[in-house]
Structures are given as structure tokens and as C-alpha cells.
Amino acid sequence: MGIAELVDGPLWYFSVAVFVVGVAWRLARIIVAPARTEFSAVSSHAAGGAAAVFSRFLPRREMRAASAYQYGWGYLFHVTLFILLLFGRVHVEFYEARIFGFSWVTMPDWLFLLVSELSFAALLMLLLYRAMEPVTRLLSTRGDYFGSILILLVMLSGCMAMDQTAEPLRVIHLFLAEVLLIWFPFGSLMHAFLFVPSRAYTGAWFGRRGIAA
């Protein structure tokens, strides 16, 4: 079996399996961890925790100026990433062939490249911030850098492989995407799922007291 067959075949299935099982395992860890029963009497003006799952998509008024950099570049990166994954022609063709068996509307390739550049730039700005700001530099782990650099490489190889004439570039891109899928459940990329229980727990704790968190 050549490298291309390996990447197209077994490694693809393996990476998807690691991703699915890994994510499920990490979510299960939260579900099976001991939960604490709440015995305090709920406030008469209590609110539920669910609101915080949504309200935290935006910074609080008091924090807007201080967190503008992280939110600004963070939003640009996340939104463009979703656009690329959901509406990129090559991606949709891949999903059709490999997963769903049907396709949907895609954006023109020139737009895909433009959005990719924006996404790449946004992630680069976040990575620079991580490496240069004293606070994030102190907090960040090797895994955080690895995850960001891996995504940058996936994007770079993806743009280079766009016209699909250079087969090795396509294989490299798919290979890197598979590494990313395998890495995903083990690092902080899991925030893509875990923001929901974290916000809900916090929202419920404050909501019980009548505070909108």
C-alpha cells in the first residue's frame, strides 16, 4: 500500500474513529464524574443556566475594551473556519464522496482562498498573541502551540492543494487533517464541545442566586 492509499484509506478511518471515540470519552468523563447535589434553597428571582451558554458568545460590556483583541481575531478565525469547512467546494465534494452521499451549495474558489487567508491571518494573530503577551505566554502549554500550528499547516497545505493537480499536496493536506482529528480529543481543542457544559454549570450556579452569568 502506497502512502496515498494509506492516507486515503485506513488512516482516514482510524483518525475519524479516534476523534469520535476520544470526544465521546472526554464527554463521558464529565458525565460519570461525581456530580454534587445542590441543597440550597433556590432564589426567588433565580434564572436557569442555559442563558449563559449563549450569552457568553459576546463579552460583557465591562470587558469589551480589554478583550477586543482576543474576541476580534477569535471571531474572525472561528467564523471563517466554519465557512471554509462548510462551504468550500473541495470540502463539500469530499463529504459527498466519503460521508454523506449528497452535496450542497459551495462558494467559488477565489472566495475560498480569500476566506482562507483571513482565517490564516486571524489564527496567526492569535498565535502571536499567545507567544508574546506575558499572560498567555505564561498560561500556554506545548499542546496549545501544537494545536494552533497544526491548524495553520492544515490551512496552508489546503490552499496549496486547491487545484488538486498536485496530488502530493492533496495527500499532505489530508494527512495533516487526520493528525488534527487524532489530536483533537486530547488537547484544548475540546473546548469546541466543552464550552457547553462549562457555561451551563456556571450559568446554573449563578442563576440559582438570580445572577445572569
Cα–Cα dist 4/161, whole Å: 14
Residues 133 and 113: beta-carbon distance below 8 Å = no
Q: How many CB atoms lie within 10 A of CB 31?
A: 8
Interface residue with another protein among 79, 111, 144, 179 (CB under 8 A) is: 144
> Binding of another protein at residue 149 (CB under 8 A)?
no
Closest distance to another protein from the beta carbon of 160 (Å): 28
Helices (H), the chain: 3-8, 10-32, 50-55, 68-87, 89-95, 109-132, 134-139, 142-160, 167-183, 191-208
Among 3, 21, 24, 63, binds another protein (CB under 8 A): 63
Segment 78 to 107, residues that bind another protein, using CB under 8 A = none
Q: Which of 185, 189, 186, 160 is nearest to 172 (CA)?
A: 160
- Tell whether residue 36 is a contact of another protein (CB under 8 A): yes
Position 190 contacts another protein (CB under 8 A): yes
Shortest Å, Cβ 63 to another protein = 5
- Choose one: 10-18, 95-103, 158-166, 184-192; the region binding another protein (CB under 8 A): 184-192
Distances (CA, A) of 204 to 37, 45, 212, 213: 13, 13, 9, 9
* CB closer to another protein, 151 vs 174: 151
Q: Is 132 in the site for another protein (CB under 8 A)?
A: no
Check binding of 201 to another protein (CB under 8 A): yes
Q: Does 30 contact another protein by CB under 8 A?
A: yes
Given a contact cutoff of 8 angstroms between Cβ atoms, the answer to whether 64 and 99 are in contact is no
Total residues interacting with another protein, rule: CB under 8 A: 62
By beta-carbon proximity to another protein, the closer residue of 62 and 99 is: 62
| Residue 31 and residue 195 in contact, taking contact as beta carbons nearer than 8 Å | no
What is the crossing angle of helices 142-160 and 167-183, to 10°?
A: 150
List contacts with another protein (CB under 8 A).
26, 29-31, 33-41, 43, 45, 52-53, 56, 59-60, 62-63, 66-67, 70-71, 74, 129-130, 133-141, 143-144, 186-188, 190-191, 194-195, 197-203, 205-206, 208-213
